[in-house]
Amino acid sequence: MNTTLLTGLLPQAALSAEAFGDVPGAWLFPEEAAALSGATDRRRREFATVRHCARVALTSLGRPAGPMVPGKRGAPTWPEGVVGSMTHCDGYRAAVVSRRIDIAALGIDAEPHLPLPPSLLGRIASPRERDHLAALRQAHPTVHWDRLFFSAKESVYKAWFPLTRTWLDFREAEVALEPYRQTFRARLLRTGHDDEGRPLHEFDGRWRVGRRLVVTAVSYGVSAFAHGRVRRDTVYGRR
């Protein structure tokens, strides 16, 4: 099995693909190309490459890849019965997919491992979160915790939106980063329900720093099979 920066950050049922730059010859369906009217060449290349990654991951999942056109709020559309997430930043593109019966929602984000502009941190973090980040910086100064914090909030939103189809502001999820286990927890500060009507209270995620990048990932509604704890025929054989 191919490994990526996302390997180990998500359950086994989540399959990922990545590229450290644009893939020559990455192509688009006509519907995808039409969504890029007026876009720059750079935007077209990253759009095509991240969808190339998604198609590679879908092939690993055994699913055909159709057009993945941006929908509401820019979220990509996925094949029926599939959940997924995409991310891109300078020098990196990645996508992750899973069967919906295994994982209800996924969110991933990658950012350059650089300091976050101070003005941006003030807009996305509460006073308590800023105190938390200050303590982390003092104890572990080699990590750009502000950038990691921003990435975690991006991953939380990418998992939240497909479940609720509603906006989630940066200040509506309170994130706490755990430095030793490389995990984080987001406490949701607004009311939301998943697509089966269950209330959403928090998301758990994992993070990694490597290759001058920070990468974060969130999964929600994970089955026992998705973690590899039981065989699929044990869970689904009587359906």
Can you say which residues are annotated as belonging to the binding site for CoA? 43, 51, 87-88, 109, 154, 158, 168
Cβ within 8 Å of residue 40, ≥6 positions away: none
Q: State the binding site.
A: 43, 51, 87-88, 109-111, 154, 158, 168
* Contact in structure between 193 and 199 (CB atoms under 8 Å): yes
Q: Which token pair is 93?
A: 């593109």
Q: State the binding site for Mg(2+).
A: 109-111
Q: What is the DSSP letter of 10?
A: S
Q: Which token pair is 58?
A: 């879908």
* Contact in structure between 64 and 79 (CB atoms under 8 Å): yes
What is d(CA 83, CA 38) in angstroms, rounded to the nearest whole number?
Answer: 29
H or E element at residue 143: none
